[in-house]
Structure 1
Amino acid sequence: MAHVAYRFESLKKWTIGTFKNSRQQLLEHMGKTDKTVDEVFEKECEDLKELHRRYGCLASAARDFTKILTQLSQAEKNLAESLQHLSVKEVAIKSQCTTTSESMLRIANHAAALDNCLRYFQSAVETLYSKTIVDTLETIYATEAARIEFDVCRHDQATASPTAIHVANEKASVQRDKYERLKDDVRVKLRLLEENRISVMAKQLERLQTALAAYFSGNAELLAVAIEELRSLNVPNSSLIL
């Protein structure tokens, strides 16, 4: 019986808390209540959200380009194979068919090598987008939720009766400490994320530029080196929790 009563009381507190938080958000949206504001911190958070969106666009574009390059490589191989088959029947132009087929096959192999390079680049970008940056964003969202809870407690504190003011003060103090602690966590993660992100992308872009130069110059050896360099790069950490 005591266990049932405890669960009922916990559910009651959760329901009231959820209602108050939702009401606070609605009133803020309507401009009918004040909220705790840290303009510098909030701008840093919004900047990261926008950066995350742009990395998402980059990851999507890299996926699309990789698909097209894969199709191009296969089409070039098909053309090379068709020319080789034709040379068996067209004896008069056999040498031309064979030479062109071999050229197309080399081009196809170069495209396949560049495709491999792009896949390593794509993997690094998608890890940054879907894991590394998201880890910091989740802490930001937790901070935003803590800020709302603090403001709810702050408003409860302002309207508390003399007999309830002590409890209201304690709750507001606890929520304020939680909010400030999460803000500190976000600041640390933002700094580490920037260092990690810039380091990873600088290396990836440098190797990709080498691969592109090798592809357009037809340098198979340099393409092979670029693939190995991209393969050897460390995958960016998905979590920056200290």
Structure 2
Amino acid sequence: MEVAEQRGGGAEDQTPPAEENGNSSHTESDVTSCPAEATPEDFMEPGQSKEPVMPQKVESGPVVVQGNNRTLASEKLERVRKWSITTFKCTRQALSEKLGRGSRTVDLELEPRLELLKDDRQRYDHMTKLAQTMANQLAQFTVTQKTLGDVFTEFSVKTPSLHVEFGVNAEVLKFLSKSGENLTAAINTFTSDMNTLVNKTIEDTMTNVKQYEAARIEYDAYRVDLEELNLGPRDTSTLPKLEQAQKEFQSQREKYQKIRDDLSIKVKLLEENKVKVLHNQLWQLHGAVAAHCLSCHRFLEQNNQEASEQLRNPSADASSWLEES
């Protein structure tokens, strides 16, 4: 893995607070309770003396908390403490990177692929929206064609003198409308598969990219802390902190490398799957457009030939009323 570090204009002006470590002492105060109040209870049986029963005094003292409860509380407090420290370090690291004063780890192999993936996702999303707009407009156009074809058919019946002309146009519009519906269905299939690719497959990988970015910032935060401790003086008080920082840094490094390796494999598989999906969908769309154009061209040629034969038929020509007069 090729890793490079980019550093800003200079080191941070302030040294971050030293990280708390396990050697710091934590005192726990004993939990005490108020003296318990005893309530007299009379249990009278037949033949028993009715003299009031004096309640026995209960000795008061500290209430002992069970070990399990104390352990659970300590574990919760420890998790909250670690979470607070990690959050502070990550926030400080992110701000220093934005201000250009901090250093960050750059993966020269993976990050260019991630940038390309983000750019491709935006472009594919734009292309899918355009295809969906085209499908919607084509669907409206086919409805208008069919409606106009029905009107031409009606006029063909009601106007005998223009029966051929109205009939030819009616047949053409109805055929174009039917072929347009098939093309619209093909475009909708294309947009559906593209939506799956963009909004599910690629988006799932982008979620892993966000996790990778968070792990990278956390890794850099612990790395910067370790570097600052290494630059400082070493004595009996700082050596335990340095050892603890080294352990935490190694743990974060292993976590970062694991997420990085998993993401690299997932991006590679996504690139291969993306090529296969686009190859199939683009050829299917091309075939649908070609079939639409060819079928319309053939029908128009046949329709024009039939219309010409009908117009050349003498029975189709009606004599003018001027000629009759």
TM-score in terms of structure 1 length: 0.83
Per the alignment, residue 67 of structure 1 pairs with: 136
1:203 corresponds to:
280
| 2:145 alignment counterpart | 76
AA paired with 2:119? E
1:162 paired residue number: 239
> Aligned partners of 2:151, 2:80: CA distance in 1, in Å?
71
Match of 1:192 in 2: 269
> Which residue does the alignment assign to 1:143?
212
Separation (CA, whole Å) in 1 of partners of 2:114 and 2:147: 50
Match of 1:58 among 124, 127, 133: 127
How far apart in 1 are the matches of 2:268 and 2:200? 16
Partner SS state of residue 240, structure 2: coil
After the TM superposition, which residues 75-154 of structure 1 pair with which residues of structure 2 at under 5 Å, given as runs? 75-154=144-223
C-alpha distance after superposition, 1:142-197 (max 9, x if no partner): 11110100011112223453222222212111111111111111221122111111
Equivalence for 1:218: 295
AA aligned to 2:227 is A
Separation (CA, whole Å) in 2 of partners of 1:75 and 1:173: 68
Shift of 1:18: 2.4
SS of residue matched to 1:37: strand
- Structure 1 match to 2:304: none
1:56 counterpart letter in structure 2: D
Query: Who is 2:98 aligned against?
Result: 29
Alpha-carbon distance, 1:7 to partner: 4.3
Which residue, 220, 239, 251 being the options, matches 1:174? 251
Does structure 1 conserve the Cα–Cα contact (< 8 Å) formed by 2:89 and 2:222? no
Q: Aligned partners of 2:83, 2:153: CA distance in 1, in Å?
A: 73
Q: Residues 110-130 of structure 1, C-alpha deviation per residue, up to 9 Å, x if partnerless?
A: 110000111111111111111
**CA–CA separation in structure 2 for the residues paired with 1:126 and 1:113:** 20
Matched position secondary structure for 2:109: helix
The 2-side partners of 1:39 and 1:30 are apart by 22
Q: Kindly tell me: are residues 166 and 66 of structure 1, through their superposed partners in 2, closer, same or farther at Cα, counting changes over 3 Å?
A: same
Q: Shift of residue 88 of structure 1?
A: 4.0
Larger radius of gyration: 2
Q: Secondary structure at the match of 1:33?
A: coil
Q: Contact 2:176–2:296 at 8 Å: present in 1 too?
A: no
State the partner residue of 2:110.
41
**Cα distance, 1:89 vs. partner?**
3.2
Q: TM-score, normalised by structure 2?
A: 0.63
Residue identity in the other structure for 1:90: T
Q: More displaced, 2-11 or 70-79?
A: 2-11
Inter-partner Cα distance in structure 2 for 1:52 and 1:127: 12
Indicate the SS of the match to 1:36: strand
Task: Map Cα deviations across residues 214-238 of structure 1 (whole Å, 9 max, x no partner).
Answer: 1111269xxxxxxxxxxxxxxxxxx
The one-letter amino acid of 2:208's match is T
Deviation at 1:209, TM superposition (A): 1.1
Alpha-carbon separation, structure 1, partners of 2:198 and 2:243: 45
